[in-house]
Chain A
Amino acid sequence: MDPIKTKIQTRSKETRQEIWGQLLSYAAIILIVAVVCSIFMFVASKGLATFTKDHASLRDFLFTTDWSPTTMGKDGRPLVGALPMIAGSFGVTVLAVIFATPFALGTALYMTQLAGKHGQKLLQSVTELLVGIPSVVYGFIGLNVVVPFVREHFGGSGYGILSGAFVLFVMVLPTITSLTVDSLRAVPSHYQAASLALGATEWQTMYKVTLRAALPGILTAIVFGMARAFGEALAVQMVIGNATLMPHGLLTASSTLTSVLTMGIGNTVMGTVGNNALWSLALVLLLMSLLFNLVVKWIGRKGRI
């Protein structure tokens, strides 16, 4: 065979490198997918065991308020009413996001539209700093500052959904702010130029054009904030009071899905009803974060221009 033919029919070094690189990245992808799938399957198998093996009813789980998985109810089923925790989780999440969104919007607008270079840099590093503070520190500050504050100004023991929401407010603020900043920065400047050239004031331009064009991104930011708030465990657990009772207001001690999980998972034996019931809570958390992700995807698709 002539040398050119052999040369083009054998694989070159570059081709072999290419194939090797492809294999490497496929392997990484497969590993990650496998990890995610197995986490899902693990949590699901444990969480569903409450209903299949221990014969708890799904309706009780979602709609009743007695949480005492190790004792049996009158119908011979374990008492796994998770409604108080679900309500608690949604309560702190929604309140925290309602508190945080106006501040985040204001900060983001200031950073992107009004502040000079120095102001921008300062605020940027402040928000980044807020992200970096460990949640136990937030919880500790919550315990020492927020709880007494709520007790004195709103009444009650100070432990409860309101305190949890206040602590989460500070924790989700940087998330919502930085994502909102990104979406505001992504608004093309020629929209603003067009608006100003039509005789709009800066405020009208911000309000009617910039914010509106950035709306899908801002909604995404809010949903990410909700996901963060929903999943936060430690800081909330320190200030919410951890009573697995249906919250009767914002000031009574209550609990969230995450706080019950962190409190209980070390005190139960693997495979028992008590343990499985906690896994069911974990499953709810997992499904919720999946839902948040889907919502983000959906907004992204709807909002694409």
Chain B
Amino acid sequence: MVNEYLTTKDVHLFYGQKEALKGINLAFPQTGIHALIGPSGCGKSTYLRCLNRMNDLIPSVKITGEIELDGVDIYQPKTDTVELRRQVGMVFQQPNPFPFSIYENVAYGLKLSGRQSKEFLDERVEQSLKQAAVWEEVKDQLGDSALSLSGGQQQRVCIARVLAVQPSVILLDEPTSALDPVSSNLIEEMLLTLREDYSCIIVTHNLQQASRISETTSFFLNGSLIESGPTKEIFVEPKKQETDDYLSGRFG
């Protein structure tokens, strides 16, 4: 692949004795959307959480292999996870805004690195909400609790919250699976604009979604990477039998 920005080499992950990832080799360019597909429990979310070291929070997890972001190994002992997670943002399956106002939700990540001027915050909050395609809906109620919004709006505010800290990679863990089709569409359209500037890695169970928005797709099964390549090739003429079976609905 050209322009390898985020690369993982032979990544194994163990939950105690159980091997959940069995040597994953993948590389992502600096822009574009990459979809991770596969049946439940195949390790795709676990893999995603390796990329911003969210698995560190789970005790008894052991990870081996190499994950490099822009040429730097992120599992070195001296890696600053704070800085890493600012570079590699994450959107979760369930919309999880803080129980604060919309404005404070988006400004949260910015305020973490010290005091910022009001103008700077205002500007960045507006810009992020616009990028996340939710500005028009919430611009008159920035002071209201984010929990008063609909699920789809909440998820877009969560995306704005990630965009506000200007990451280079955005990890999305089934971001639309808890949403209605209209909200899902809005988020898909937004992702299509984000892919110009960010590297988006999206875990999804929705195969149509993967085929609609991603340039490249990887198929996971039982902790192994079965096949990876341009989305069109994977969907139209998969090289492996397992991929074909999964895509045609024979299992999973």
Question: A193's contact among B54, B86, B145, by CB below 8 Å, is which?
Answer: B54
Whether B165 lies near A199 (C-beta < 8 A) is: yes
Q: How many residues of B contact A (CB 8 A)?
A: 26
A190 within 8 A of B: yes
Whether B89 lies near A194 (C-beta < 8 A) is: no
Write out the residue numbers on chain B whose beta carbons fall within 8 Å of the beta carbon of A194.
92, 96-98, 158, 161
Which residues of chain B from 61 to 92 have any CB-CB distance to chain A below 8 Å in the complex?
82-86, 89-90, 92
A198 within 8 A of B: yes
In angstroms, Cα B85 to Cα A198, docked, is 6
Write out the residue numbers on chain B whose beta carbons fall within 8 Å of the beta carbon of A208.
108, 112
Write out the residue numbers on chain A whose beta carbons fall within 8 Å of the beta carbon of B229.
none
Chain B 144-183 interface 0/1 with A at a Cβ cutoff of 8 Å (1 = within): 0101000000000010011001000000000000000000
Whether B108 lies near A197 (C-beta < 8 A) is: no
Whether A200 lies near B82 (C-beta < 8 A) is: yes
B216 within 8 A of A: no
Write out the residue numbers on chain A whose beta carbons fall within 8 Å of the beta carbon of B97.
194
Whether B54 lies near A213 (C-beta < 8 A) is: no
In angstroms, Cα B86 to Cα A196, docked, is 9
Chain A 261-305 interface 0/1 with B at a Cβ cutoff of 8 Å (1 = within): 000000000000000000000000000000000000000000001
Write out the residue numbers on chain A whose beta carbons fall within 8 Å of the beta carbon of B98.
191, 194-195, 209, 213
Whether A196 lies near B112 (C-beta < 8 A) is: no
Q: How far is the CB of A215 from chain B (nearest CB, A)?
A: 10
A22 within 8 A of B: no
B52 within 8 A of A: yes
In angstroms, Cα B96 to Cα A191, docked, is 7
Q: How far is the CB of A15 from chain B (nearest CB, A)?
A: 43
Question: B85's contact among A190, A199, A213, by CB below 8 Å, is which?
Answer: A199
A204 within 8 A of B: yes
Which residues of chain B from 218 to 244 have any CB-CB distance to chain A below 8 Å in the complex?
none
* Closest Cβ neighbor of A209 among chain B residues: B98
Q: How far is the CB of B92 from chain A (nearest CB, A)?
A: 7
A144 within 8 A of B: no
In angstroms, Cα B134 to Cα A80, docked, is 65
B99 within 8 A of A: yes
In angstroms, Cα B98 to Cα A191, docked, is 6
B2 within 8 A of A: no
Chain A 205-232 interface 0/1 with B at a Cβ cutoff of 8 Å (1 = within): 0001100110000000000000000000
Write out the residue numbers on chain A whose beta carbons fall within 8 Å of the beta carbon of B92.
190, 193-194, 197
In angstroms, Cα B109 to Cα A194, docked, is 10
Q: How far is the CB of B249 from chain A (nearest CB, A)?
A: 31
Per DSSP, chain A at the interface is helix
Whether B82 lies near A213 (C-beta < 8 A) is: no
Which residues of chain A from 34 to 52 have any CB-CB distance to chain B below 8 Å in the complex?
none
Write out the residue numbers on chain A whose beta carbons fall within 8 Å of the beta carbon of B109.
198-200
A201 within 8 A of B: yes
Q: How far is the CB of A297 from chain B (nearest CB, A)?
A: 20
In angstroms, Cα B98 to Cα A193, docked, is 11
Whether B99 lies near A305 (C-beta < 8 A) is: yes
Which residues of chain A from 155 to 209 have any CB-CB distance to chain B below 8 Å in the complex?
188, 190-191, 193-201, 204, 208-209
In angstroms, Cα B49 to Cα A193, docked, is 11
Question: B86's contact among A195, A199, A212, by CB below 8 Å, is which?
Answer: A199
Whether A195 lies near B89 (C-beta < 8 A) is: no
Write out the residue numbers on chain A whose beta carbons fall within 8 Å of the beta carbon of B14.
none
Write out the residue numbers on chain B whose beta carbons fall within 8 Å of the beta carbon of A204.
112
In angstroms, Cα B243 to Cα A200, docked, is 39
Q: How far is the CB of A107 from chain B (nearest CB, A)?
A: 22
In angstroms, Cα B162 to Cα A199, docked, is 10
In angstroms, Cα B171 to Cα A193, docked, is 14
Write out the residue numbers on chain A whose beta carbons fall within 8 Å of the beta carbon of B145.
305
Q: How far is the CB of B99 from chain A (nearest CB, A)?
A: 5
Whether B162 lies near A198 (C-beta < 8 A) is: yes
Write out the residue numbers on chain B whose beta carbons fall within 8 Å of the beta carbon of A190.
92, 94, 96
Known interface pairs A204-B112, A208-B108, A305-B147. Does A196 touch B54 (Cβ–Cβ under 8 Å)? yes
Write out the residue numbers on chain B whose beta carbons fall within 8 Å of the beta carbon of A212.
99-100
Question: B99's contact among A195, A197, A213, by CB below 8 Å, is which?
Answer: A213
Q: How far is the CB of B157 from chain A (nearest CB, A)?
A: 11
| Interface-central residue, B54, B90, B96, B145, by most chain A CB under 10 Å | B96
Which residues of chain B from 95 to 125 have any CB-CB distance to chain A below 8 Å in the complex?
96-100, 108-109, 112
Q: How far is the CB of A207 from chain B (nearest CB, A)?
A: 11
Question: Beyond the given A193-B96, A198-B108, A198-B161, could you list 11 further A-B residue pairs with CB under 8 A, ordered by the A residue number?
Answer: A190-B96, A191-B98, A194-B97, A195-B108, A196-B57, A197-B162, A198-B109, A200-B82, A200-B109, A200-B112, A208-B112
Q: Can you report 11 residue pairs joining A to B where beta carbons are below 8 Å apart?
A: A191-B96, A193-B92, A194-B96, A194-B158, A196-B54, A197-B52, A197-B54, A199-B82, A212-B100, A305-B99, A305-B145
**Leading 9 A-B pairs by shortest Cβ distance:** A199-B86, A197-B90, A198-B109, A190-B96, A199-B85, A194-B96, A305-B99, A199-B82, A200-B112
